[in-house]
Amino acid sequence: MSTTQQATAPVKKPRTLIGRVVSDKMQKTVTVLVERRVKHATIGKFMKRSKKYHAHSEAPEVAEGDWVEIIETRPLSKTKSWRVTKLLRKAKTV
């Protein structure tokens, strides 16, 4: 074989999640709570499962209670490997 063939790895699309900001007390970092509904294997009942993610946010307009979209990225710190991409809905202030 005179021609070399390069093996092209499939490009992995980064995951995106939608959640609510529950904490914005850190600098350039927000904590996002993502909830999902899961069907129980034996009972068949739908249950809510939630998980918190630390996400990088350069924008200062993201505040507690806002709904945001986060995307998976390279590790930015020990616990932070997500980044805020969009502000979907502002929190209602009373």
pLDDT of residue 44: 95
Q: pLDDT by residue (tens digit) across 43-73? A: 999 999 999 999 999 988 899 999 999 999 9
Cβ neighbour number for residue 53 with a 10 Å cutoff: 17
Q: Tell which CATH classification among 2.40.50.140, 1.10.1200.120, 1.10.287.3510, 2.40.10.220 matches the domain 16-89.
A: 2.40.50.140
Contact 55, 32 (CB under 8 A): yes
Structural domain boundaries in the chain: 16-89
